[in-house]
Structure 1
């Protein structure tokens, strides 16, 4: 899916080394040549390039999801991205070298994807140049309007806002046992917001008249774009879901929303976007549940946890 970041295996985490082993064995079992497997990414998932074969394996490393639910989620992602790729939509699609289905090995479910050479990476921009970064996200959010036009025609069945309900609920249960940096008041607030969110998700069209639920990327597509010599491609559809387009537009900023409206010729519901941004921050809070298995993630999440604390609590009365 991208260029190697960790070619030196001595620098890998234990979970990444395990992922390389699983991906290599699964790839060879499928008849793929694997000489120099390389880790491209190591956060919630580990991405392993089965070099020299142009295949990337996504290995879940922090998922709390039961195996059968994880596999169902992966099948939805493969179905949606495969459907988009077959229609020429710019996505990182399932690898054409293996069947479009999850692969089970040692109790873990893996998925296989095209290898894409990334150019003009976000990391190459000056990270202290806020204007350049905002312009980048505005452009990529404009591209999201095109993606949504295609996704609106997706004929398959998808759950409604699956990244939120029930996913956040199970994470909050784990945090009650091991709260990390959350106080008792934080946990009480988070659980109250989740209860409100369950109500909002169930009654969304009634609470926001005119809202149309459609297939979505599910995880901020403007942040999941690879730029290549041939153009941009959207990747990482593992949270694909039904929902309002506002869910895909969270945290892109006013310039990004305006770019989306210009590109799509549609009006974004600012009130619904505000609710979805509250839900996104609650999702970030729930992600603290994986910190015991990945301690380095904690400091990365804390600035957004602070943003959550500063906002008024999400309630079912929104909208």
Structure 2
């Protein structure tokens, strides 16, 4: 996409967010874009409401399928807020439902003041992930197994990269496909996972690197962005964060009476996470900045064991 096309997409998302907010009775006179990468995130100022509008999506995603996933997110986060868990909650000023408008599916959240002076501390945050897992163990809703892994996303993404030597080396794409053949067989269903990793318990997990998605506000740290909330092993939430973060998680898990991370599962889920990053190269036409942003992840992936060592 050209810069003009990217700007037009952002403008459409902004207009949709503002229009939807006004239709819901919110006063919106000074809307501000807070973030614009995979989603356009808009503060509907002066209302204390933030709208998240996903804009960079796989070809098979539809507004209805997005709304279905967003309902899961809203339900999980609303439940956590009711339990007193520190989260960025759904906005209390509108119904807790996704809104479909102008081809977008969007969700509405409470605006929180972020602490602009703080630097992310992922090791500290890794310990907080264990606290989140302790709370999520009691979530009463039924969730699909590892919807966050999105097997179709990886399969279709790798297929779309065929012939795009400007985005990925042929040898890398060949390895990714062979690796995915091994990993998909294990992560395609709960039964396959449990056969490969007997005794590894499953529970509701955040689904999208919660240590990276903890917002530091003037009132403390808040968990956010539960778009990929799912049933899975706790290791999924710690994929690819490294030994120091894993040690911080394990220390907190022991304190809370939770099980520590399983090393074999960690290697496998990290391998899936790496392949998801490789598959994200297929998004470069929609989001050109990814061409450079994903280079470190691809280079790191080249040095990892094939399929997380599952073939050993």
The answer to whether TM tops 0.5 is yes
Q: Secondary structure of 1:36's match? A: coil
User: 1:277 — aligned with what?
Assistant: 270
Matched residues, number: 298
Matches within 5 A, 1:1-16: 13-16=7-10
Distance in 2 between residues matched to 1:115 and 1:78, nearest whole Å: 15
Of the structure 1 ranges 187-196 and 221-230, higher mean CA displacement relative to structure 2 is found in 187-196
Distance in 2 between residues matched to 1:189 and 1:23, nearest whole Å: 41
Q: Secondary structure of 2:161's match? A: helix
TM-score, normalised with respect to structure 1: 0.88
Q: Does 1:163 pair with 2:163? A: no
User: 1:143 — aligned with what?
Assistant: 128
Distance in 1 between residues matched to 2:156 and 2:107, nearest whole Å: 24
Distance in 2 between residues matched to 1:197 and 1:98, nearest whole Å: 41
Of the structure 1 ranges 85-94 and 192-201, higher mean CA displacement relative to structure 2 is found in 192-201
> How far did residue 161 of structure 1 move?
1.6
Q: Would you identify which runs of 4 or more consecutive aligned residues in structure 1 move more than 3 Å?
A: 177-180, 315-319
Q: Does 1:299 pair with 2:285? A: no
Distance in 2 between residues matched to 1:264 and 1:157, nearest whole Å: 24
1:123-182 deviations in Å (ceiling 9; x for gaps):
x54xxxxxxx6xx21111101111001111111121222222233222223223656421
8 A Cα contact 1:144 1:222, kept in partner: yes
1:168-209 deviations in Å (ceiling 9; x for gaps):
222223223656421233222222222222211131122112
Q: Does 1:208 pair with 2:197? A: yes
Q: Secondary structure of 1:221's match? A: coil
> How far did residue 14 of structure 1 move?
2.9
Distance in 1 between residues matched to 2:93 and 2:165, nearest whole Å: 43
> How far did residue 115 of structure 1 move?
0.7
8 A Cα contact 2:122 2:211, kept in partner: yes
Of the structure 1 ranges 264-273 and 236-245, higher mean CA displacement relative to structure 2 is found in 264-273
Q: Secondary structure of 1:147's match? A: helix
Gaps of 5+ in 1: 1-9, 126-132
Distance in 1 between residues matched to 2:105 and 2:158, nearest whole Å: 24
Matches within 5 A, 1:133-282: 136-164=121-149, 165-176=151-162, 178=164, 180-201=166-187, 202=189, 203-265=192-254, 266-282=259-275
> How far did residue 16 of structure 1 move?
2.2
User: 1:32 — aligned with what?
Assistant: 26
Distance in 1 between residues matched to 2:253 and 2:310, nearest whole Å: 29
Q: Secondary structure of 1:237's match? A: coil
User: 1:5 — aligned with what?
Assistant: none
Gaps of 5+ in 2: none
> How far did residue 67 of structure 1 move?
2.7
